[in-house]
Amino acid sequence: MKKIISFLVIPCAILMGLFSCTDDEKDTFPDPRDGVEARGAYFRTLNTAGLIDETDLDNSNWAVTGELVSLENGADISDVEIHVTYGDNNFDLTMPETSESITTPAFLTTTNISSFVLNDNGFPEATITINLGDAVTALNLDSSVVLAGDQFNFFITINMTDGRSFTEVNTQDILGEIFFSAPMQYSDFIACTLSPPTPGTWTIVAKDSFGDGWQGGLITVNIDGIQTNYRAIASEDTFTFEITGADEKMSFTYSPGAGSNAFEDENSYTITDPNGTVIFTEGPTPRAGSLFCFLP
């Protein structure tokens, strides 16, 4: 009898070892409501898009698509507000300390819960679009000081029917998981400029937090009509390309992978010019579409 038991134990140990290997696999089906009761509602980012053109702010738009997660699946939410600040990344550090490089927040818009529609995930979803001309007006900015490389920062406030409100301060990423991507705040750089791109070696650093490379995501660099694609193939990959003359046109575009197995929440990247200045940084879950362009 003892011999039979010993033979049974060995296969069981082998099976346990086989199943334990899944612990480090990607979890594609976590429960988004975990922690909501203790921490309140949150806005899970599904996508961001938009191109802010320095030369045409009135016709530039930024948009965020997301779903609301709460205990009562949106029935306990009244509306969602967007506030905005402006960051002057061309700020002169030699100016007196009374000068400010970041404005105080200004109210932009309110989206009522009735504008949210249940999506395939079973959560209320909506796309909120912001016109940059409206943002400039709300901030009382002189549009002539808005330059390429500066940024607009957008902040979400979820107002509950019981009078509570949740922002990036008291909600943050409720679950502590990048997968849920609920920062409640976003930044968008002013992209197109009439200035020529700096000649020299440009650098792209593409990262994948899981370490297995991007599952379909691509950065496309277009130089005078010639396109080259770049993507992370491991945890971090560095790519360089040359700009030979100041009269060249250059643009950057990000295309996300398709489907739930794209794992866009693992993707991030940084674009640096020949002077070592970070021109653009995105991720996790980089926004799709045009990112930055030089139109000399």
Same domain, 151 and 279: no
pLDDT tens series, the chain, 296 aa = 434 433 333 344 333 343 334 444 554 434 545 555 555 788 988 888 777 877 788 888 888 999 999 989 999 999 999 999 998 866 544 333 333 467 889 999 999 999 999 999 899 999 999 999 999 999 999 888 887 767 888 999 999 999 999 988 887 544 444 335 667 888 777 776 667 888 999 999 999 999 999 999 999 998 887 889 999 999 999 999 999 876 678 888 888 887 778 888 899 999 999 999 888 888 888 877 777 777 66
Where does a domain end: 143, 174, 191? 191
What are the beta bridge partners of residue 254? 219, 289
User: For residues 224 and 248, is the Cβ–Cβ distance under 8 A?
Assistant: yes
First to last CA, the chain: 85
**Looking at residue 276, which CATH number applies to its domain?**
2.60.60
User: For residues 76 and 41, is the Cβ–Cβ distance under 8 A?
Assistant: yes
Same domain, 110 and 252: no
Where does a domain end: 161, 191, 221? 191
Same domain, 185 and 205: no
Q: Is residue 28 part of a domain?
A: no
Same domain, 149 and 184: yes
Please give the residue range of the domain that contains residue 155.
36-191
Q: Is residue 8 part of a domain?
A: no
Q: Would the pTM count as exceeding 0.85?
A: no
Stated as kind and residue range, the H or E segment containing 53 is: strand 52-53
Q: Which two tokens stand for residue 123?
A: 């959560």
Same domain, 280 and 134: no
Q: Is residue 87 part of a domain?
A: yes
Same domain, 214 and 168: no
User: For residues 77 and 125, is the Cβ–Cβ distance under 8 A?
Assistant: no
**Looking at residue 53, which CATH number applies to its domain?**
2.60.40
Among 109, 110, 152, 128, residue whose Cα is nearest residue 67 = 128
Counting the structural domains of the chain, the total is 2
Query: For residue 31, how many C-alpha atoms fall within 13 Å in the half-sphere facing its CB?
Result: 7
295 contact partners, CB below 8 Å, separation of at least 6: 55, 192, 193, 194, 249
- The whole-number pLDDT of residue 173 equals 44
Where does a domain end: 137, 166, 191? 191
